[in-house]
């Protein structure tokens, strides 16, 4: 399955143009997806904005031992559909993106922004045997 993986608000808390802190639980789930043979695409608005913003994200992924899991870096962000794992299975493409309406979210450490809740996402992915 192709996994379209967002950066800000998904892998890290939203702090653009800076890079936020690693979202708790994401590293483990991304590694499990990679180990199960899924193709992971980095799908971030940073690619649409500037080369330096994208490079900052890639450097963060490298420093946090996630870059080896990324097969493709999209040159422009693909807009995520509504969160629906069953539809994603049929289409063979799953978007893990805080902009995907209905994806499980939680408040970040500031209490001001929401971000992907990897604990809940992991449970749902296990139920559907994606990981």
Residue 127 binned pLDDT confidence (cut-offs 50, 70, 90):
very high
pTM: 0.96
Sequential DSSP letters for 38-90: -EEEE--THHHH-HHHHHHHHHHHHHTT-GGGEEEE-SSPPPP----HHHHHH
pLDDT at 125: 98
In CATH terms, the fold of domain 2-127 is Rossmann fold (3.40.50)
Quick: pLDDT tens for 36-93.
Answer: 999 999 999 999 998 999 999 999 999 999 999 999 999 999 999 999 999 999 999 9
- Name the one residue in this structure whose structure tokens are 């902009």: 99
Quick: pLDDT tens for 3-36.
Answer: 999 999 999 999 999 999 999 999 999 999 999 9
Cα of 54 vs its chain's centroid, Å: 14
Residue 110 binned pLDDT confidence (cut-offs 50, 70, 90):
confident
pLDDT at 50: 86
Q: Other CB atoms closer than 10 Å to residue 41's CB: what's the count?
A: 18
Residues 6 or more apart in contact with residue 33 via CB below 8 angstroms: 3, 40, 69, 125, 130, 131
């Amino acid at each position: 399955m192709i996994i379209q993986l967002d950066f800000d608000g998904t892998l890290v808390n939203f702090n653009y143009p800076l890079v936020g802190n690693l979202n708790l639980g994401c590293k483990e789930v991304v590694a499990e997806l990679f180990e199960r043979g899924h193709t992971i695409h980095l799908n971030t608005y940073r690619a649409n904005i500037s080369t330096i913003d994208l490079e900052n994200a890639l450097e963060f992924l490298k420093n946090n031992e996630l870059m080896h899991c990324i097969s493709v870096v999209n040159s422009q962000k693909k807009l995520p559909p509504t969160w629906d794992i069953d539809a994603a299975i049929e289409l063979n493409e799953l978007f893990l993106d805080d902009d995907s309406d209905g994806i499980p979210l939680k408040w970040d450490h500031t209490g001001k922004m929401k971000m992907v809740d990897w604990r809940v996402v992991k449970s749902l992915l296990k139920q559907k045997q994606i990981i």
